[in-house]
Amino acid sequence: AQSVSQHNHHVILSEAASLELGCNYSYGGTVNLFWYVQYPGQHLQLLLKYFSGDPLVKGIKGFEAEFIKSKFSFNLRKPSVQWSDTAEYFCAVNAKAGKSTFGDGTTLTVKP
Amino acid sequence: NAGVTQTPKFRILKIGQSMTLQCTQDMNHNYMYWYRQDPGMGLKLIYYSVGAGITDKGEVPNGYNVSRSTTEDFPLRLELAAPSQTSVYFCASSYSNHNEQFFGPGTRLTVL
């Protein structure tokens, strides 16, 4: 069965600090990888996705993620966070058609 | 274009009662999903559907049922509510396995 592990449950940063959130998955076949964000009081929305091609993908609001197949990882990065990035971040994997697995989420708090 | 809509937004049930959570999407998406989100636990897939008339179990299907008679609608049925079903329920849809999921606003359910 596929699984997704997010290593950091809660991250606290000051504005302008760099961010890296870890995501590892377990599945031996082809996967589609996603990062979603949930801002306080809002729906989950897509930050970025990968399913083929360049393993470094760029998303909205300056976020990027790198797919490293040999490490089964899809870590999320941002060079300089802002207070408005305070949110919960979820890594997700789609392997078998329709069977989607989410990580437990990482709560990011950015102090102004 | 309303996206994914869910009703009701909030509901309190007594143990043993039943209810249906409604989900409708107007994006002509083939795939639809039901998740539950418990505090600190991320999203767990309950059921999913890859098209009208086709449904399959996710990670935590016990105590729930679904149907998909049309492309637009994907209701989730709780037959005998239990306190363990207290959670926030999210419906989502996507065009395919490669594509992002669009989420509804959620239903907060409490079973007492």
pLDDT at B68: 97
- A83-94 mean pLDDT: 95
Element (H, E) at B88: strand B87-94
- A62-88 mean pLDDT: 96
Q: Which residues of chain B have pLDDT under 70?
A: none
DSSP helix/strand/coil, A69 = helix
Indicate whether A89 pLDDT > 90: yes
User: Of A89, A92, A94, which is closest to residue A78 (Cα–Cα)?
Assistant: A89
Looking at the complex, report in whole angstroms how far the Cα of residue A107 sits from the nearest Cα belonging to chain B.
9
- DSSP structural state of residue B73: B
In a 10 Å sphere around its CB, with 0-12 CB exposed, 13-18 middle and 19+ buried, how is residue B39 labelled? exposed
Single-letter amino acid code for the residue at B5: T
Locus of tokens 């999407």: B25
Verify whether the Cβ–Cβ distance B41 to A97 is below 8 Å. Answer: no
Chain B residue with minimal CA distance to A31?
A: B98
Please check whether residue A49 touches B, CB under 8 A. Answer: yes
DSSP helix/strand/coil, B30 = coil
- A3-9 mean pLDDT: 91
